Chains A and B, each alone.
Chain A
Amino acid sequence: DAGVIQSPRHEVTEMGQEVTLRCKPISGHNSLFWYRQTMMRGLELLIYFNNNVPIDDSGMPEDRFSAKMPNASFSTLKIQPSEPRDSAVYFCASSIRTGKETQYFGPGTRLLVL
């Protein structure tokens, strides 16, 4: 299995630009998570999808952040407009919702907003 795939792996952009991060979950997994990791705040859950439906977006920082999951094999996290404080590593994870959650993480996207 290819595991969770994320793209791009690195992104450098200027403040005010739109950023789109992409994720392909493991085939057959019906839960998808977007996390953000910074030195100051650690690993934070941004949003959780189950069967392509957003279940919990309480971790999304503000309206500048949006996430979509148009089908079971693809999700995007968009930041518009981006700000320097959005600089972080963004992880996507997926799991099979069996009741014993084991989340499988992608390699992450390292975002730097100048």
Chain B
Amino acid sequence: DAKTTQPTSMDCAEGRAANLPCNHSTISGNEYVYWYRQIHSQGPQYIIHGLKNNETNEMASLIITEDRKSSTLILPHATLRDTAVYYCIVSLAGNYQLIWGAGTKLIIKP
């Protein structure tokens, strides 16, 4: 599986859009980009995933560049409850092995 690179930490003001970048320059054509988050003292929570096209659900939007070497997770209106560690994972479809890096610690400030 391709390796990902994420910033260690980020801040965002409450109510603003939080944009979390992820680099995955060695991604292969059939690997998906997954995003999970882990709120303090809870289990990781699935957010969204995509292959090539941009994706949106009730939690977030995922923007994948055309060359697929990077992506951005967008939380459109961040709230204090969005403070968490966000993990960007690249994995083959159907691959149960998710390689969890250190993620990005996102702090939403009032």
* Chain A interface residues toward B at CB < 8 A: 4, 31, 33, 42-45, 48, 50, 55-56, 91, 93, 95, 97-108
Min Cβ gap B59→A in Å is 13
CB atoms of B32 and A42 under 8 A apart: no
**Docked pose: A73 CA to B49 CA in angstroms:** 27
Q: Chain A contact residues: over half helix, strand or loop, or mixed?
A: strand
Query: Is B49 a contact partner of A31 (Cβ separation < 8 A)?
Result: no
Which of A31, A45, A100, A105 meets B32, CB within 8 Å? Answer: A100
A-B contacts, 5 listed (Cβ < 8 Å): A43-B100, A100-B32, A103-B98, A104-B46, A105-B44
When chains A and B are docked, how far (Å) is the Cα of A104 from the Cα of B32?
17
Question: Are B95 and A42 neighbours in the complex by a CB distance under 8 Å?
Answer: no
CB distance from B41 to the nearest CB of A (A): 8
Kindly state the interface size class of chain B when it binds its partner: 10 to 19
Chain B residues within CB distance 8 Å of chain A: 32, 34, 41-46, 49, 91, 93-98, 100-102
| Alpha-carbon gap, A44 to B91, bound state (A) | 15
**In the complex, chain A residues whose CB is within 8 Å of the CB of B41:** 108
Q: Are B46 and A97 in contact (CB under 8 A)?
A: no
Cβ–Cβ < 8 Å partners of B46 in chain A: 102-104
A67 to nearest B CB, angstroms? 15
Given contacts A100-B32, A100-B49, A102-B49, contact A43 B94 (CB under 8 A): no
Complex Cα distance A99/B93, Å? 5
